[in-house]
Amino acid sequence: MSDIALSTTVTVKNSKGLHLRPADALVQKAQEFSASIAFVRDGDRFDAKSVLEIMTLGAAQGTELQLEAQGEDAEQALQELAAMFDCGFDENEP
């Protein structure tokens, strides 16, 4: 495991926020990587591989989160998870 932690800032763009469906999709994607992945909000860390911890974030539309990853595939994990935020979790909204 790489000792270097990588991070990026993501913003919740969809109007319903980080509800159960996108939280589950994030967990499914995060579990594809061996890297340790977490969201950081107000100094608290939330395991990105736990739907319960992601739901605890209570992240509404416009919320900025720090996404951190550490491990061999950390860079790829950050890119793919950040892309999910960028596309609003593919939720079609009027």
Return the half-sphere exposure (C-beta side, CA atoms, 13 A cut-off) of residue 17: 13
Answer for the pair 73, 34: CB distance below 8 angstroms, yes or no.
Answer: yes
End-to-end Cα, the chain, rounded Å: 43
Could you say which of 19, 40, 41, 50 is catalytic? Answer: 19
Catalytic-residue membership of 19: yes
Active-site annotation, residues: 19
